[in-house]
């Protein structure tokens, strides 16, 4: 009996080592996620080249511009890429007033990613309801912000005026370059370049398409493994640490979401990371709600960095559209989240849609197809 009793604690002695391996694996999956997002962006640029910009040159009116921003970001899966392209177009002469609706649309289009991530919880109804609510609350927040601010912008031009006032002290500058300022590129570029070299043997632009597909595959792998690891790790003190970062209150949550998104330069990545946490009931939807809003602010850093890389006479207008993006997101939080009667609206809408999604997955297909494909496509065809 004594031998059996002594043998019982042995598995526990390996527990710290096992948890360390799990945390290491989680960090590895985060790096893989960053790599895959970078691969998708590089692959798209490789496959489409300069033709990527053509999608954004059909904005004949504000609604068409909005839809171009939505469908472009939904296809590319990166609001950072889209806003950077828009900054480049403004630097090339696109009027700021035409670019503003596109920037708003980019905010809406980027929410596709975390909605797709929530489908990983589809096997368990309760998990899926929580995860889908977490994913779509960001969608509804951005849609409500657009419904409020786009008509106001069309009638008053207030975003254009505010951004013009913000850049007015720099009107004499013709070079705002900070091109080398980047947090993630140094650690991902060598691997991405290695992956590109593997696909270079393919004819024409097929290498770019293959890189995009490979990146999407890695996103699925990274998110799936991260979800399983988080479920095991987010207990005890680890959960307290996470609550300290996200669940301390709205201001702290917004600040945390902003900082994380600045570091990874991808709001899609930031918001996707919290979906499994809500799905597995580690955090509540109300705790992560402010965190996802912070991602809206943090993602503006990419457009700002793109603007500072512009030289010449239109540099100031490139910076102006980047500041429009920042101003729109800050005002969206102040109005939609700041006003109590509007604050709960995105959550209520997301919960209602999640109830339908749990009953039938066709509701998910209908929602994604209508908001991100059919409606933008119809408006653009009419325009």
Mean pLDDT by 10 residues, the chain (383 residues): 45 66 82 70 65 56 81 72 75 79 85 74 81 88 92 90 83 48 63 84 81 76 70 56 66 84 70 79 84 86 70 74 91 92 91 87 81 74 67
Long-range pairs for 156-165 at CB < 8 Å and ≥24 separation? 157/97, 159/100, 159/324, 159/327, 159/328, 160/96, 160/97, 160/100, 160/320, 160/324, 162/327, 163/96, 163/320, 163/321, 163/323, 163/324, 163/327, 164/320
CA pair distance 107, 80, nearest whole angstrom: 10
Q: What's the pLDDT at 245?
A: 64
Which candidate, 35, 56, 80, places its Cα nearest to that of 268? Answer: 80
Within 10 A of 318 (CB to CB), how many other CB atoms are there?
A: 30
Q: What's the pLDDT at 138?
A: 87
Side-chain half-sphere exposure of 199, counting CA atoms within 13 A: 22
Please tell me the pTM assigned to this model: 0.69
CA pair distance 211, 261, nearest whole angstrom: 24
- What are φ and ψ of residue 217, in 5° steps? -60, -45
Q: What's the pLDDT at 312?
A: 60
Which candidate, 354, 371, 375, places its Cα nearest to that of 126? Answer: 354
Q: What's the pLDDT at 178?
A: 42
Is the CB of residue 106 less than 8 Å from the CB of residue 66? no
CA pair distance 190, 148, nearest whole angstrom: 43
Q: What's the pLDDT at 345?
A: 93
CA pair distance 355, 374, nearest whole angstrom: 23
Q: What's the pLDDT at 13?
A: 46
User: Buried b / exposed e across 326-353, counting CB within 10 Å, b at 16+?
Assistant: bbbbebbbeebbeeeeebeebbebbbeb
Q: What's the pLDDT at 148?
A: 92
The tokens of 180 are what? 């080398």
Q: What's the pLDDT at 250?
A: 84
CA pair distance 177, 311, nearest whole angstrom: 7
Within 10 A of 48 (CB to CB), how many other CB atoms are there?
A: 18
Within 10 A of 381 (CB to CB), how many other CB atoms are there?
A: 7
Q: What's the pLDDT at 177?
A: 45
Q: What's the pLDDT at 328?
A: 93
Q: What's the pLDDT at 145?
A: 93
Which candidate, 227, 222, 225, 236, places its Cα nearest to that of 15? Answer: 236
Q: Provide Rg for the chain, Cα atoms.
A: 22
Beta strands in the chain (DSSP E): none
């Amino acid at each position: 009996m004594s031998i059996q009793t002594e043998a019982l604690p042995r598995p526990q002695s390996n527990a710290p080592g096992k948890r360390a391996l799990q945390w290491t694996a989680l960090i590895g999956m985060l790096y893989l996620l960053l790599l895959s997002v970078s691969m998708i962006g590089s692959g798209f640029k490789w496959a489409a080249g300069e033709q990527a910009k053509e999608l954004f040159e059909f904005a004949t009116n504000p609604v068409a511009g909005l839809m171009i921003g939505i469908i472009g970001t939904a296809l590319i899966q990166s609001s950072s890429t889209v806003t950077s392209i828009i900054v480049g177009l403004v630097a090339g002469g696109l009027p700021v007033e035409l670019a503003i609706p596109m920037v708003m649309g980019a905010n809406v289009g980027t929410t596709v990613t975390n909605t797709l991530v929530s489908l990983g919880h589809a096997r368990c109804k309760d998990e899926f309801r929580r995860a889908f609510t977490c994913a779509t609350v960001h969608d509804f927040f951005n849609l409500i912000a657009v419904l409020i601010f786009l008509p106001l912008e069309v009638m008053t031009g207030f975003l254009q005026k505010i951004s013009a006032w913000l850049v007015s002290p720099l009107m004499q500058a013709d070079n705002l370059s900070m091109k080398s300022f980047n947090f993630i590129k140094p650690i991902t570029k060598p691997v991405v370049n290695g992956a590109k070299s593997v696909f270079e043997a393919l004819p024409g632009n097929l290498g770019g398409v293959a890189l995009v597909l490979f990146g999407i595959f890695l996103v699925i792998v990274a998110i799936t493994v991260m979800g399983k690891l988080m479920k095991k790790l987010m207990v005890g003190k680890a959960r307290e640490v996470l609550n300290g970062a996200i669940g301390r209150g709205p201001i702290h949550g917004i600040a945390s979401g902003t900082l994380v998104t600045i570091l990874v330069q991808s709001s899609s990545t930031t918001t996707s990371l919290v979906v499994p946490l809500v799905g597995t009931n580690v955090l509540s939807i109300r705790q992560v709600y402010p965190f996802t809003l912070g991602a809206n602010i943090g993602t503006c850093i990419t457009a700002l960095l793109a603007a500072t890389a512009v030289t010449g006479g239109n540099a100031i207008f490139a910076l102006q559209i980047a500041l429009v993006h920042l101003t729109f997101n800050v005002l969206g939080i102040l109005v939609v989240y700041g006003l109590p009667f509007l604050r709960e609206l995105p959550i209520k809408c997301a919960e209602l849609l999640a109830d339908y999604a749990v009953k039938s997955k066709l509701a998910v297909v209908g929602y994604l197809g209508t908001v991100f494909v059919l409606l933008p496509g119809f408006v653009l065809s009419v325009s």
